[in-house]
Amino acid sequence: MDKSFDVIIPVGVKDIFIVQRNVECINLYLNANSIYLISKKKFRIFFHDLLNKYPNVHFVDEDILVPGLSKRKLLSYINVVAPHLMPKCGWYFQQFLKMGFAKSNYCKDYYLIWDADTLPTRQINFFTDTNRCLFCVKEECHVPYFRTMEKLLGVSKLIDKSFIAEHMMIKTEYMNELIACIEQSSDNGTWWKRIIAAIDQDSLLGFSEFETYGTFVYRYYPESISFRELKSNRRAGKIYGRSISMSELLCIKEMDTISLEPADKPDLMIRKLWQFPQRLFIKLLSVIIS
């Protein structure tokens, strides 16, 4: 029996168009209540039609979602404490937004973190008949994630697989407990500051919110989760690029999800030419806001 949940999607500049198709698919296949698009305030204009079309879709300014956290504040802190992480400030900021949503006024009992460029292509459930959360596990092991986790929580890798996937169902109670544990781990300020301070000086990618939350729940609440693997195609962008029609999506029968990543360009020249203006616009917008 599925529990009630919302969906949150942090949206960077590269995903302002693809996420709109994603919202259509999520409303079609995931049985979510509200969908929260978390992005820069100035990007709201790009979602005007989407917000009018779907009453369950809401836009949230990323710089006011988590009290005390903004992109500028994170950048300033990293510049002082861990300047080697400056190139990945936005990457860490998105992770902290996903975690910090649990402390916001929008949050209810459960929320699903979903990647902006991953589209569901058929019905997906996230709870077992006994109300366990279904965690999608994959093959990956990035050692620096676990070194940081060990410093923060005294817990290292516990399973052979990885909790890093294109989505994760979060129980708000557990995420808030995780954040509280991190805040108790040292004297370096708030939880997100403590995470940054715990990352090794030789690690650019030194923390994973999915790996950390998944390990924490497995360690302390193993009876609340079950593992599964979904059929996904992370290289679907080689076929479709960054744009796909609903008719094309409805023809995909063998996959649970597909990902249309920015680095993947379609093999067909006609698709490359068709999508070129959109890619160029995003590049120009990236330069303007940087």
Percent of all residues in the chain with a pLDDT value above 70, rounded to a whole number: 98
Q: Are 278 and 242 in contact (CB under 8 A)?
A: yes
Q: Enumerate the β-bridge partners of residue 24.
A: none
Give the pLDDT score at 243. Answer: 87
Angle at 152 between CA 149 and CA 153, to 5 degrees: 80
Query: Which of 250, 258, 202, 253 has the alpha carbon at shortest distance from 233?
Result: 258
Which residues does 250 contact at the CB level (< 8 Å), separation at least 6?
none
The pLDDT tens digits for 124-179 are 999 999 999 999 999 888 999 999 999 999 999 999 999 999 999 999 999 999 99
Structural fold of domain 6-289 = Spore Coat Polysaccharide Biosynthesis Protein SpsA; Chain A (3.90.550)
Q: Which residues of 220-246 are buried (b: 16+ CB within 10 A; e: fewer)?
A: eeeeebeeeebebbbebbbbbbbbbee
Taking the model in full, what pTM does it have?
A: 0.95
**Tokens 């994959």 appear where?**
138
List the chain domain ranges: 6-289
DSSP helix/strand/coil, 77 = helix
Q: Check: CB of residue 3 under 8 Å from CB of residue 271.
A: no
**Poorest-confidence range of 32-36, 38-42, 188-192?**
188-192
How confident is the model over 83-109, as pLDDT tens digits?
999 999 999 999 999 999 999 999 999
